[in-house]
Amino acid sequence: MPAPEDTIRRFTVSHDDDGARLDRWFKRHLPQIGFNTISRWARTGQIRVDGKRAKPEDRVEAGQEIRVPPGGESLSKGPQRQRIQLTEDELAEADAMVLHRDRAAIVLNKPPGLATQGGTGTKHHVDRLLEAFVPEEDSKVPRPRLVHRLDKDTSGVLLTAATPGSAAFFSKRFSGRSAKKIYWALVTGVPDISAGTIDLALAKQPGTGGEKMMPDPEGQPARTKYRVVDRAGNKAAWVELEPLTGRTHQLRVHLAAIGHPIVGDGKYGGQAAFLTGSISRKMHLHARRLIIDHPDGVPLDVTAPLPDHFAASMEQLGFDESASDALPEEGPPPPSREEKKIAARRHAKDVRKERRGERRQRTMGSPKAGKPTTKRSAAPAPKKGGVKKGKGSPRPAGKPAPRKPGSK
């Protein structure tokens, strides 16, 4: 409940706001107070967190008490968010997609053909349908937020965050690659190697406005684990995929690059991506399972059933869904090319250090450290008294022999 304007207000940081910046906390809970006011209060020590002065950029922790002085409301509160009015069909569509719902997350099974977000000419999308999960009677309930995306023609598990705090929590898990995503795909032909990792950098294809990707050694690193679950002769294969990076169209480009495009993916496979007969021409790529940490401590593990066209193709090709549990591989992902290069440089540096150490040890063991131990051999010193003269002995150079009288 809001306190009177002349009363100091005290708030306890909730679990959802754990780790948020102080100015972001104000924007979420006291949006009527402007940033300039927050900064002035911070400079003058009027804002306190657990009794201590705080800056707008400081992070707050769950359980801390925030002391807010009275007043500060801006005369111009700015435009209020207008609620999207959904039709009865849209409300039913949103409700039918829900696979799991709790205080932090709403997990959907996105159908193929439905865009995740809007764009030019796209009015119907998942982001619009999230309005269905905001109760009309409580305007303070935050609107769910997208934390990752699926391509328009890709179906399956799509996670949305129910609160701003859980959105930050889940986003960190996706960016840190601790979230495990398993996809199912039907591809044309059968890969020669039944399991492996596709390590192929990707970049935007020029002239497509960023709408199409292509393999490029100078592009962003992209890696995908794959495993052939079953095959229908040499005609098609059922493949399980685990992306280790999250590039645009990564799975589609990688499978097309090894010569086995996803069934129905004409964008990257051309006519080779379509099977003859009664197999659907729709995209056969499905986000089957998602495993991700949850703010409550128990990991979230959700599996999405196949869309109708995918299930029908599986049956026609003789594939049994029970042949795969869509389990991610245990252990850390294999190192990328960049990680391998870094490791190689470190190894070379260690080898050079060892060699320098060996040279130092050899030098320290010599009679005179730091100086060469070999000398040019010198002739033995002559005996005291000079060269002994005798009959037939050679005369010292430089002194001519005396002439005898009468000699020429």
- The answer for residues whose C-beta is within 8 angstroms of residue 288's C-beta and 6 or more apart is 156, 157, 182, 183, 184, 240, 303, 304, 326
Q: Which helix (H) or strand (E) holds 167?
A: helix 164-175
Residue 199 is among the residues annotated as catalytic for this protein: no
Angle between helices 22-29 and 35-43 (to 10 degrees): 130
Structure tokens at 211: 């709408």
Best CA proximity match to 313, nearest among 155, 197, 181, 157: 155
List of long-range contacts for 297-302, beta carbons under 8 Å, 24+ apart = 300/100, 300/105, 300/107, 300/159, 302/99, 302/100, 302/107, 302/157, 302/159
24 SS3 class:
helix
Q: Strands across the sheet with 9-12, in order? A: 9-12, 65-68, 48-49, 52-53
Catalytic residue among 151, 153, 320, 350: 151
The secondary structure of residue 275, as a DSSP letter, is: -
The answer to whether the Cα torsion of 241, 242, 245, 246 is positive or negative is positive
Catalytic residue numbers, as ranges: 151
